């Protein structure tokens, strides 16, 4: 039976004997851990050469004397006799030695490792490296799933993470975003975020709902900034969970600047933006060979420059534009855009209530009013909105489709 132990090698001298791929893997990990790495070998493989600016290389055969004055030895020379000599020298000096050629003759072993932020999990499997790798991969999936208990239980510095939650389906959260939610003490959430994920969090996680609806912002942006900064300053880990992507019409930049002004650590985890993913759910690619080579994303609830948009040859995607649809469509036509330009409106993308309404700039406002189109919805203007034949394969992950027009 062995005694598991993690070593702090930062600033400590470590010998890596050998210049091949195994030595390169050991040296890379040691450099990442802050060790002062000495590599002794007549030649280096390409991966080790790339590390030379970060370590010391002595171009010669390794000798037992090299073990003196180091904290740890890794042997990977490819010659069992040389590795055994180095191990014996290390044993005499009471220095731990990891032998790449013979684990049974080692005094120390390198485990399979999973790292996720501050969490490190090490795995050994009785000298069976394949079994250890299999366990490592299983642990990686568990940690990434959000099911692992990653919340910190001791007091520490607070931080804020902006997580783009995607278009609403929990399955479209990124792995990093899901992991940050598993670490959170506080979640400040928007209405269009994938709120179903909140049921999977620890029951004592504080959830602050700052959801906005069209023309109704119960919690102003300055107050949201204050909330996330205040919780982080109290030593809590805060996730600001939004729909789509925080940096695509999500005011994420303002929240980052507020955190930095307050001296709070902040991280941004990108999300799947609804500007592209919601049209995709309805079978509409925002670019398509022969139809559109560019896409412009516009906030639809603010004044837009219709003359500039009308001159664009590509696709225009409006977010938050349902209430302004009559004005938007009329403005584009008045600015010279063809009235027959296809338009598609996708409501509640990636949900069982998804519905697509199609028309042209000339008639889409009337059709949408007749069908009772409501937010949240994404409006696509351009030739791709009239593309046929992709809707039946676009949303295999959805529970159901709404009726399309």
pLDDT in tens, 192-233: 999 999 999 998 999 999 976 555 557 899 999 999 999 999
pLDDT at residue 216, rounded to an integer = 54
pLDDT at residue 213, rounded to an integer = 57
pLDDT at residue 392, rounded to an integer = 60
* Residues 6 or more apart whose Cβ sits within 8 Å of residue 235: 155, 156, 157, 158
190 is an active site residue: yes
The CATH number of the structural domain formed by 159-272 is 3.40.1010.10
Q: Which long-range contacts (CB under 8 A, 24 or more apart) does 133-142 make?
A: 136/112, 139/114, 140/114
pLDDT at residue 323, rounded to an integer = 93
Selecting among 29, 209, 212, 404, the annotated active-site residue is: 212
For 12, counting Cβ atoms within 10 Å of its Cβ (0-12 exposed, 13-18 middle, 19+ buried), the class is: middle
CATH class of segment(s) 275-394: alpha beta
pLDDT at residue 214, rounded to an integer = 55
Structure-token pair, residue 228: 């996330």
212 is an active site residue: yes
* Domain 13-110 fold: Rossmann fold (3.40.50)
pLDDT at residue 404, rounded to an integer = 54
pLDDT at residue 395, rounded to an integer = 52
Q: What is the pTM of this model?
A: 0.77
Q: Is the dihedral of CA 221, 210, 156, 182 positive or negative?
A: negative
pLDDT at residue 396, rounded to an integer = 47
Selecting among 101, 185, 190, 245, the annotated active-site residue is: 190
pLDDT at residue 398, rounded to an integer = 46
- pLDDT < 70 stretches in the chain: 212-217, 389, 391-405
Between the alpha carbon of residue 268 and those of residues 97, 163, 167, 225, the distances in Å are 41, 6, 17, 15
């Amino acid at each position: 039976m062995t005694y598991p132990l993690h070593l702090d090698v930062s600033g400590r001298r470590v010998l890596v004997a050998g210049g091949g791929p195994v030595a390169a893997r050991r040296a890379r990990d040691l450099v990442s851990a802050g060790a002062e790495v000495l590599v002794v070998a007549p030649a280096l493989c390409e991966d080790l050469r790339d590390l030379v600016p970060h370590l010391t290389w002595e171009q010669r055969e390794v000798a037992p004397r090299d073990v003196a004055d180091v904290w740890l030895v890794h042997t990977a020379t490819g010659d069992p006799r040389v590795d055994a000599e180095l191990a014996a020298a290390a044993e005499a000096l009471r220095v731990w030695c990891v032998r790449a050629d013979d684990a049974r003759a080692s005094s120390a072993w390198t485990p399979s490792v999973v790292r996720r932020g501050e969490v490190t999990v090490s795995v050994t499997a009785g000298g069976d490296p394949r079994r250890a790798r299999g366990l490592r991969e299983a642990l990686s999936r568990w940690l990434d799933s959000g099911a692992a208990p990653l919340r910190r239980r001791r007091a520490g510095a607070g931080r804020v993470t902006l997580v783009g939650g995607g278009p609403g389906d929990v399955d479209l959260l990124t792995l990093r975003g899901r992991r940050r939610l598993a670490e959170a003490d506080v979640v400040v959430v928007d209405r269009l975020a994938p709120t179903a994920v909140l049921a999977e969090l620890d029951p004592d996680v504080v959830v602050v709902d700052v959801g906005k609806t069209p023309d109704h912002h119960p919690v102003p942006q300055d107050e949201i900034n204050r909330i996330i900064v205040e919780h982080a300053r109290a030593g809590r880990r805060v996730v600001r969970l939004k729909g789509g992507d925080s940096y695509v019409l999500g005011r994420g930049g303002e929240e980052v600047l507020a955190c930095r002004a307050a001296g709070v650590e902040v991280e941004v985890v990108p999300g799947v933006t609804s500007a592209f993913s919601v049209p995709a759910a309805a079978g509409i690619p925002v670019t398509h060979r022969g139809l559109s080579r560019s896409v412009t994303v516009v906030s639809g609830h603010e004044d837009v420059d219709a003359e500039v948009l009308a001159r664009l040859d590509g696709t225009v995607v409006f977010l938050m534009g349902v209430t302004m649809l009559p004005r938007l469509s009329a403005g584009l036509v008045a600015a010279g855009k063809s009235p027959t330009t296809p338009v598609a409106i996708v409501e509640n993308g990636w949900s069982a209530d998804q519905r697509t309404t199609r028309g042209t700039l000339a008639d889409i406002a009337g059709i949408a009013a007749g069908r009772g189109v409501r937010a949240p919805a994404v409006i696509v203007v351009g030739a791709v909105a009239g593309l046929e034949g992709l809707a039946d394969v676009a949303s295999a992950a959805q529970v159901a489709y709404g009726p399309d027009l």
